[in-house]
Amino acid sequence: MTLIDDLTTLLGPAHVLTGGDMDRHARDWTGAYPGEPVAVVRPGDTAQVADCVTLAARHGVPVVPVSGNTGLVGGTYTKGGLMISLERMNRIRDLNPAARTATVEAGVILSALHDAAAAQGLYFPLWFGARGSAMIGGVLSTNAGGSNVLRYGSTRSLCLGLEVVLADGRVLNLMSALHKDNSGYALRDLFIGAEGTLGIITAAVMKLVPAPRAHATATLALGNLADATVLLNRLQEASGGLVEAFEFMPASYSRRLAQVRPDLGLPFGEVPEVTILTELGATSPALCETREDGSVPLTDLLETTVAGLMDEGLITDAIVAQSEAQRGAMWARREAAAEITFARRPFVDTDIAVPLDRAADFLTEIHKRLQAVEQAHEPMTVAHLGDGNLHFTAFPVDGSKATYDRVITMIEDVVATLGGSFSAEHGVGLSKRPSMARRKDGVALDVMRAVKAALDPAGVMNPGKVIPAKDSDAS
């Protein structure tokens, strides 16, 4: 029997996709990595995932897990591999309000977990634009970040336990809800961020937090980026650490937003050099209960703090949201980032991290270097500034590989001098493997290869991703 025959017997014909039925899985969100899988299977439970992996191994076919397929780095590309879609594994197995945990399968869409938690007065604090399609398995596999990392941490910080199907078909049960477990190696953390190269995540125990009962949101104008770190620290001090988001949109971003999405508008009459979107969240009645005059103490706190900082000259202009509609409009401008980036080509898109006080240094230096070699260079940045994650994009004159390599290497050079990382939250996949070869510590790469060889000796789990070959030429 062929692999397709065996899979059809196992899952039924409705859940073994071939030909044109594979299109929505085989092509990623960017469209840059159109794959050619041998088939796409849709198992309904962990046992079926394990059986699919076992069958693929028996036929000598590699496997590539796919969730919401919202990745940006080619992490689900395959030519001749078996794609295992977790979309049918979309059950919330348990939601425990007392322990503030949710036990979920890998195919649970992020927004569905948001809704289920909200129904219990709780919140799953992983928030980004693709929350309506991204799935838990994918966000764990890439250690996704988003707008709330500043307060709650990335996906790894929100996970207590995992269930993983290994390359040999065995199921690794790490489904603990413990906050402390000092019993040997932290195996859970090996699989988070591994992008399916060590095993397929099928379920997880995730942390929940009390849902904020009030938000206070503001769009602020600053004269320069160096003041932003001072602003963040002052807001944290004034609020007692309640800042959930601190997003940076420079003038280049605002101008691009006006071109691509004029319907969203701009907050200020004149485009400032630095626009900051910040949001506080609180749960205590003292800050959240609406007064008789309709005011909310948390909003008053933000307004008072902002007013004082304007008197000091740290902030040049400000708008504090007075309604959910105004708050939504502020966030819509920020969450249009991917749309307005990919609307123009060619581009060199990066996902870097620098120390919190070095963002201005990075932008100053990279602009200077790019202008020296590319007169038509036009950069655009948007950033989760509170955790040092910058999405820096350059739009070069031509889309040649030589130009791309020159620009990306230049960006990496500046990042390295500042003690930063070339990869912050999108994962490595295919697109950043050359960067791994150039920039990752050699001993760290050897350790990664050893772990990969131990868990996947035949190299069948999402092959060719994340780890560069030993003899890679970094290109």
Name residue 85's beta-bridge partners. 66
Q: What is the topology classification, in CATH, of domain 92-210?
A: 3.30.465
The contacts of residue 164 (CB under 8 Å, 6+ apart) are 171, 172, 174, 191, 198, 199, 200, 201, 202
pLDDT of residue 472: 66
Residue 429's alpha-carbon distances to 102, 277, 333, 388, in angstroms, are 28, 30, 28, 21
Distance CA 319, CA 333 (A): 14
- Looking at the chain, the domain(s) classified CATH 3.30.465.10 span 92-210
pLDDT of residue 375: 56
Distance CA 136, CA 412 (A): 30
pLDDT of residue 178: 97
pLDDT of residue 1: 73
pLDDT of residue 474: 58
| Ranges of the chain whose pLDDT falls below 70 | 374-377, 472-475
Beta strands in 13-134 (DSSP E): 16-17, 39-41, 63-66, 82-85, 92-96, 101-105, 122-123
Q: How far is CA 338 from the centre of its chain?
A: 12
- CATH of segment(s) 214-337: 3.30.70.2190
Helix (H) or strand (E) holding 195: none
pLDDT of residue 30: 79
Helix (H) or strand (E) holding 193: none
The contacts of residue 263 (CB under 8 Å, 6+ apart) are none
pLDDT of residue 154: 97
- CATH of segment(s) 3-85: 3.30.43.10
Distance CA 404, CA 349 (A): 10
Question: SS3 of 316, please?
Answer: coil
Instruction: For residue 200, give the amino acid letter.
Output: I
Q: Are 278 and 220 in contact (CB under 8 A)?
A: yes
pLDDT of residue 473: 56
The domain 344-426 having CATH identifier 3.30.70.2740: the answer here is yes
Compute the C-alpha angle 246/249/252, nearest 5°. 170
- Looking at the chain, the domain(s) classified CATH 3.30.43.10 span 3-85
Look at the alpha carbons of 282, 246, 339, 125 in this order and tell me if their dihedral is positive or negative: negative
- Looking at the chain, the domain(s) classified CATH 3.30.70.2740 span 344-426
Instruction: Pick the closest to residue 49 from 1, 82, 25 (CA basis).
Output: 82
Instruction: Pick the closest to residue 67 from 6, 113, 120 (CA basis).
Output: 113
- Looking at the chain, the domain(s) classified CATH 3.30.70.2190 span 214-337
Residue 57's alpha-carbon distances to 44, 60, 82, 390, in angstroms, are 19, 5, 10, 40
Helix (H) or strand (E) holding 160: strand 159-165
